[in-house]
Amino acid sequence: MFRHEVRADSARRRKVVPAESHTADLTPASPSPCAAILVIDDHPIVREGLKRVLERGDAHWTVAEASGGDEALALMRQQAFDLAVVDVSMPRMTGLEFLRRARLQAPAMRVLMVSMHSDEQYAFRAFRMGANGYVTKDSAATDLAEAVRRIQAGGTYVSAELSERMVLNLSDQHGNASHTQLSDREFDVMRRLAAGRRPTEIAEALHISVKTVSTYKRRILDRMQLATAASLTRYAIEHGLLDDEVGPGFAD
């Protein structure tokens, strides 16, 4: 009798747990947020390299591409993008000019600038115009995916090497450089003059008159306390302000 009661009690204790209590364990984890990214660079090889870095960075990122600012703006009218990765130096529309237009056309889209320039002035101007991050092409392979993650999370990103220069600039160690006093338009014209562009070329690229270019030239030389265009070229070379391609820049 006692043995029978023990077996019955043991059977009751071995009662099966209802299956529904395990349902929560079978629910799949929520995927990471998707992001539509637009890569803008005029060099196909560079563009493809940036795309590969991004595609390896997160399986939930979809990456489109454009060869210039005009093409990118057209794509943005057809599709909403969460973030644009933009080359600063492009021949038809510079990255900074694209940034200005993108802020008007798609103000919610975040923008990460990618540049061959390690001079902090380009980064300062980009952030002033609304950029969310700035990395150099030398560091893009290691920094790009992390920069996108941080920007998508609502933060900002600057390459380590460049951030040190920016801190030095803010501490006024390099803040007295005369080109830092120029407006965005003056800075653009200055680079073109320093690169040896003729006033007619500059006027055509920026859609202004030759007379206006001459006015800018006098103002730039005065503000930078330089006497000639040759001295302007030497200054630009010393400060790393020139590149191989100087395209259309800031609009008034």
pLDDT per residue over 172-201, tens digit each? 444 567 887 888 888 889 988 998 989 998
157 torsion bin: left (phi>0), alpha (psi -120 to 50), beta (else): beta
pLDDT at 129 > cutoff 50 = yes
Cα 138 from Cα 165, distance rounded (Å): 16
pLDDT per residue over 210-229, tens digit each? 999 999 999 999 989 898 88
Indicate whether 162 belongs to any domain: yes
| Residue range(s) defining the domain that contains residue 126 | 35-170
The answer to whether the beta carbons of residues 37 and 62 sit under 8 Å apart is yes
Please tell me the predicted confidence (pLDDT) of residue 18. 44
Total tally of structural domains belonging to the chain: 2
Which of 170, 196, 214 finishes a domain?
A: 170
Closest of 117, 119, 76 to residue 98, by C-alpha? 76
Regarding whether 115 and 84 lie in a shared domain, the answer is: yes
**More confident of the two residues 115 and 32:** 115
Closest of 151, 187, 213 to residue 134, by C-alpha? 151
Indicate whether 199 belongs to any domain: yes
Indicate whether 63 belongs to any domain: yes
The torsion defined by the Cα of 221, 225, 230 and 235, in degrees rounded to 10, comes to -110
- CATH code of the domain containing 74: 3.40.50.2300
List, in sequence order, the alpha helices (H) in 106-245: 120-128, 140-152, 160-170, 184-194, 199-206, 210-224, 229-238
The torsion defined by the Cα of 86, 91, 97 and 98, in degrees rounded to 10, comes to -40
| Alpha carbon distances (Å) from 58 to 7, 36, 142, 149, 155 | 57, 11, 14, 9, 18
Cα 206 from Cα 37, distance rounded (Å): 29
| Alpha carbon distances (Å) from 14 to 3, 5, 6, 18, 122 | 17, 14, 12, 12, 72
Indicate whether 9 belongs to any domain: no
Q: For residue 208, count other CB atoms closer than 10 A to its CB.
A: 17
Regarding whether 51 and 152 lie in a shared domain, the answer is: yes
Cα 112 from Cα 68, distance rounded (Å): 15
- Which stretch of DSSP H or E encloses residue 49? helix 44-57
Please tell me the predicted confidence (pLDDT) of residue 118. 65
Q: Please provide the distance, in angstroms rounded to a whole number, between the alpha carbons at the two ends of the chain.
A: 101
Q: What is the CA radius of gyration of the chain?
A: 27
Cα 191 from Cα 233, distance rounded (Å): 8
Q: What percent of the chain has pLDDT over 90?
A: 41
Which of 153, 170, 187 finishes a domain?
A: 170
